[in-house]
Structure 1
Amino acid sequence: MNRLSLSHVSANPPSLTWLAVVVVVSVGLCAGVADKKTTEPAIVRTPDSYFSRLPELGYPWRPRYIHVLAPGLSTHPLRVHYIDEGPHNATETLLLLHGTPAWSFLYRSMIPVFLRAGYRVVALDQIGFGRSDKLTDPGAYSHRLHVATVIELVRHLDLQGITAVLHDLGGPTGVSAMRRDPGRYHRLVLLNTWLPQGDALARPLDHAAYLSWRGLVTLLGRRSPVNAVFKFASDASWTDIKWGYGAPFPSYIYQAGPSHWPRMIPLTPDDPVAREMQASAAFLQGWKGPALIGYSDRERFTIPGRPLLHHVLPAACRLEVPDAGHFLQEDQGPLLADIIIRFITHGCHLQLYPILD
């Protein structure tokens, strides 16, 4: 086992109490308010005015866009937002992928560290998130859609030698994209993520955090509490949450993406996404490139998937990030970026911090 270690910061791990709080608060707010679908547009776009405070929150980069066709949906192209910073001839190219309900804003404190190292940094907003277009029907979202979006952007920019940094559901999405275009990728960084094999119902105690969250978003649908997720799963300030993380979602019709992505996680092994994840695990087992697997000390949602990642990537560097919740980029962004740079330049061989026993 290879380990990049951090000096331990003791913290009492949070219980699942906050999930109950979110349920009570959200149900109270939504009591008597049904998510009725009147005449709605199939696609909505968050007005730019909702992103006006991003520069003061540490996200100053100008938006860039491509247009993609959603597989199996329509011929109407969807606008996908990304940022592309740093020299295009840089020796290293990083692709940063988010999960739910985050967007590229999550990486705002890491991107400057990468840019100072001379790297090219590309960060994507998935359809339904950030400054990308949003489908208003939750059922219009699929694993296939998110994977196709990553593949389209990578090919559009002709990215090569990629270090993929994958978080949360960006892990399953990113590995599926890598599997279909492996020659473009050189390194892999997996952060608080997993490849769900469809065993959640068979191991309900292990998956209690995820199953609780799934139950909540199933109950509340598009009225799921996006902002509350960051309040309870990170140390983000309310200003960053309201004007940053929450900016893409001015009303419930914009929230179909965050409400449905957690429900794509397979519950049984015969689910099509479970079969895709089984194939992705087999792909990683044959992966020859460098890999880093990192979890924060307060993570709960994706911990059940850690043994599988350690099994399929036995030579990967292993990292525990202290004093951080699920959104470890928010809580320890600059430190995490520095560790990734050291991983890129030195692999697992550089002693960074005192070893954790």
Structure 2
Amino acid sequence: MPLDAKRTPDARFENLPGYDYAPHYVDDLPGYEGLRVHYVDEGPQDAVRTYLCLHGEPSWAYLYRKMIPVFLDSGARVIAPDWLGFGRSDKPVDDAVYTFNFHRNMMLELIKRLDLKTVTLVCQDWGGLLGLTIPMDMPDTFERLIVMNTAIATGVSPGAGFDQWKAYVRSQPDLDVAALMKRGTPILSDAEAAAYGAPFPDATYKAGVRTFPELVMVAPGMEGVDISKRAAHWWANDWSGDSFMAVGAQDPVLGPAQMEQLRQTIRDCPEPMIVADGGHFVQEWGEPIALAALQSFGEL
């Protein structure tokens, strides 16, 4: 039986500032039949490189609007999907549907469906919590990494900042996403903040927003811990690609200290680019980050 899911009206996504990318959809991924997954797909289909840009909570592909043009200018293809429950993807209404493996397996199937090759993984927040567990199962697909304000969660809380965030979201079942983004990223205009809120007309669309903080693996027995431990070992011992790290220094949850721990996990990851004014959603300072990443990879 198909899952009960909401689909945000297209009109909510009209005239978003700085974002005019045509939507692409797939609704028949194995195990997710009937659920429509959205992704941005820009640049040549036969490009030498593909950038796979994975967002986190409670954002969507709009988060990458300042980085996508830089990647496109390099001649690459850019894919920026929305996790189920976010953006233009369908939003199952039952909170219990949302699990670590529900999201991870969807992304594995989408990568296979799009037959992505020579991929640079670009990730932040849940884009990393989930995305950093994927290359070990598709090692021939991924060649480079751009990682920002995220973690590999192996059963320990990232700290008091996260505990406070989790408690706050739990107290806000109808979280005002636009207000949250404006507060955490003061450089946003009101229209940009509203674009982050566009996917969520009311609380019935926000199951994903409510559940993502609850899914972070802060205890040893939680779903995803074993996969993440295996991923951490893989990044430390088997990863041989180029890496680039950028850190929003003002992030109270996954800031410089947490990112240094992650850097020590990723084999041969160089010193990070510190974005002094950047917060958790550091992609809002994304153009200089993308340019610095390309320069570090020898493309500029």
Same fold, judged at TM 0.5 (above): yes
Alignment check: 8 A CA contact 1:216 1:224 kept: no
Alignment check: 8 A CA contact 2:246 2:289 kept: no
Aligned to 1:135: 92
Q: Distance in 1 between matches of 2:206 and 2:106?
A: 18
TM-score for both structures, normalised by structure 2: 0.92
Deviation digits for residues 154-179 of structure 1 (CA, Å, limit 9, x no counterpart):
11111111000011110021122222
Q: Distance in 2 between matches of 1:98 and 1:218?
A: 21
Partner AA of 1:339 in structure 2: A
Aligned to 2:252: 300
Aligned to 2:4: 42
Deviation digits for residues 283-334 of structure 1 (CA, Å, limit 9, x no counterpart):
111211111222112122113532432222241122212221111111x121
Q: Distance in 1 between matches of 2:218 and 2:104?
A: 20
1:315 aligns with 2:272: no
Alignment check: 8 A CA contact 1:94 1:121 kept: yes
Aligned to 2:188: 236
**Which one of 63, 83, 88 corresponds to residue 23 of structure 2?**
63
Measured after TM superposition, the shift of residue 229 of structure 1 is: 2.1
1:1-357 to structure 2, matched below 5 A, reads 42-54=4-16, 57-68=17-28, 71=31, 76-200=33-157, 207-221=159-173, 223-234=174-185, 235-242=187-194, 244-285=195-236, 286-303=238-255, 305-317=258-270, 318-330=272-284, 332-345=285-298
SS of residue paired to 2:133:
helix
Answer with 1 or 2: which has the greater Rg: 1
Alignment check: 8 A CA contact 2:70 2:291 kept: yes
SS of residue paired to 2:35:
strand
* Number of residue pairs matched by the alignment: 294
Alignment check: 8 A CA contact 1:300 1:326 kept: yes
Q: Which has the higher contact order (CA 8 A, sep 6+)?
A: 1
Alignment check: 8 A CA contact 1:44 1:134 kept: yes
Q: Distance in 1 between matches of 2:264 and 2:21?
A: 38
Deviation digits for residues 235-262 of structure 1 (CA, Å, limit 9, x no counterpart):
21111111x1111001110011011011
Alignment check: 8 A CA contact 2:60 2:82 kept: yes
SS of residue paired to 1:220:
coil
TM-score for both structures, normalised by structure 1: 0.78
- The answer for unaligned runs of 5 or more in structure 1 is 1-40, 201-205, 351-357
Partner AA of 1:51 in structure 2: F
Partner AA of 2:241 in structure 1: G
Q: Percent identity?
A: 34
Alignment check: 8 A CA contact 1:176 1:280 kept: yes
Q: Which runs of 4+ in 1 moved over 3 A?
A: 68-71
